[in-house]
Chain A
Amino acid sequence: SAVISQKPSRDICQRGTSLTIQCQVDSQVTMMFWYRQQPGQSLTLIATANQGSEATYESGFVIDKFPISRPNLTFSTLTVSNMSPEDSSIYLCSAGTGRRGYEQYFGPGTRLTVT
């Protein structure tokens, strides 16, 4: 398993600004992921954070809006840029670990409210 922490745990931001969310894993992991969970909904994958290369984004998510960094095997950041109220969500980081490296453990999430 893996223990994952995220900062900040919550924030209230103004429209048009940007917020960077940090994700720290307690051990080296190959795979790290960023998800969004909109109010009352399930999780949607934003992108896979690749160490040493550009992140891989899912359909509907673009790098200009959600730039991601992965400087090493234990840390990643997600920036939500030029925010609008529609970006109000919980943003979750996960790490792939386990026997086959495919089991994903999640952080506590960052609750973002955009006013």
Chain B
Amino acid sequence: EDQVTQSPEALRLQEGESSSLNCSYTVSGLRGLFWYRQDPGKGPEFLFTLYSAGEEKEKERLKATLTKKESFLHITAPKPEDSATYLCAVQATPGNKLTFGGGTRVLVKP
């Protein structure tokens, strides 16, 4: 059974204080690892897909990396608008099912 564990569960940062979120996974065959951002009362917003170990992707202050066992989402010099829950999900072959982790709630204080 595919499993995804995210840590920490919650993260409080000062504006400008960089940090990293962890997503550990076990999957029979990884097709892709997904990062989403979810604001309260809204659906998840797609951020990145990583397909192979060593791959990195960036978007504004966010950078996602992937190894064979885990992924990191680095937040560089965060701003209050980066406050959200960040969700990690794996997609295994065969099929298209996404298995989600529990999420990391990030609060960035000004």
User: Which residues of A does B touch, CB under 8 Å?
Assistant: 1, 4, 31, 33, 41-45, 48, 58, 92, 94, 96, 98, 100, 102-109, 111
**Residues A111 and B41 in contact, CB atoms below 8 Å apart:** yes
**Residue of B46, B49, B89, B101 with most partner-chain A CB within 10 A:** B46
Digitize B55-86: 1 where CB-to-A-CB distance is under 8 Å, 0 elsewhere: 00000000000000000000000000000000
Q: Please, could you name 11 A-B residue pairs with CB atoms under 8 Å apart, sorted by A?
A: A33-B96, A41-B102, A42-B87, A43-B87, A43-B89, A92-B44, A102-B96, A103-B32, A103-B46, A103-B49, A106-B45
User: Which residues of B does A touch, CB under 8 Å?
Assistant: 31-32, 34, 36, 41-46, 49, 87, 89, 91, 96-103
**Residues B96 and A98 in contact, CB atoms below 8 Å apart:** no
Chain B interface, DSSP helix/strand/loop, else mixed:
strand
Task: Give the residues in chain B near A104, CB-CB below 8 Å.
Answer: 34, 46, 96, 98
Whole-angstrom CA separation of A96 from B34 in the bound complex: 13
**Residues A106 and B44 in contact, CB atoms below 8 Å apart:** yes
Task: Give the residues in chain B near A98, CB-CB below 8 Å.
Answer: 49
**Residue of A43, A94, A96, A106 with most partner-chain B CB within 10 A:** A43
**Residues A42 and B91 in contact, CB atoms below 8 Å apart:** no
Say how far A20's CB is from chain B's closest CB, in angstroms.
Answer: 19
Task: Give the residues in chain A near B41, CB-CB below 8 Å.
Answer: 109, 111
